Amino acid sequence: MTGDEPQLRVSKIRSGTVIDHVAAGQALNVLAILGIDGSGGESVSVGMNVPSGRIDRKDVVKVEGRELSPAEVDALSLIAPEATINIIRDYEVVHKTRVQRPTAVTGVLECPNHSCITNAGEPVDSEFDVLEEGVRCRYCETILREEIAAQIGT
């Protein structure tokens, strides 16, 4: 296999977003954050465990016809802190940014603590402060570290 040509793995998109340098294994979580499960009809390509100089192995997600909201970028930063986001229009990269860790995320994660008030049917969004490692529920003060991806609400 002459698998070293990236264009063979993941085709170019005309306009939309390329999320690159996602930590290997996190691509499906990226799709979960974006609410993409295939049922919406979006054209999506995913590359997994692609060799990469910067982070050894990486995942890549390309979504046709979609630019990300700031809340989506915040959520992405929690599971893919090294990611770059490329906005594509007419096959050209018109905007390229590294994600930045936000100081807090609202409404994106579900608190894993079943006794937390945010899981009690109250009219309140979950809110997590972002720590150096992991995040912390602003209500019940529970700390989440590696398990963040599992708590992404849909």
Residue count (the chain): 154
Residue 5: Cβ-neighbour burial (10 angstroms; 0-12, 13-18, 19+) = exposed
The single residue among 4, 5, 122, 147 that binds other proteins, judged by CB under 8 A, is 122
- 117 makes contact with other proteins (CB under 8 A): yes
Nearer to Zn ion, 54 or 114 (CB): 114
Asked if 113 interacts with other proteins (CB under 8 A), we say yes
120 near other proteins, judged by CB under 8 A: yes
Three-state SS at 59: strand
**Least Å distance between CB 150 and Zn ion?**
15
Phi, psi dihedral angles at 115 (to 5 degrees) = -90, 10
Shortest gap between Cβ of 141 and other proteins (angstroms)?
Answer: 5
- For residue 146, what are the CA distances in angstroms to 16, 27, 52, 88? 30, 16, 23, 31
- Rule CB under 8 A: say whether 124 interacts with other proteins: yes
Choice between 104 and 143, CB closer to other proteins: 143
| Residue bearing tokens 């937390």 | 116
Footprint of other proteins on this chain (CB under 8 A)? 113, 115-118, 120-124, 131, 136-143
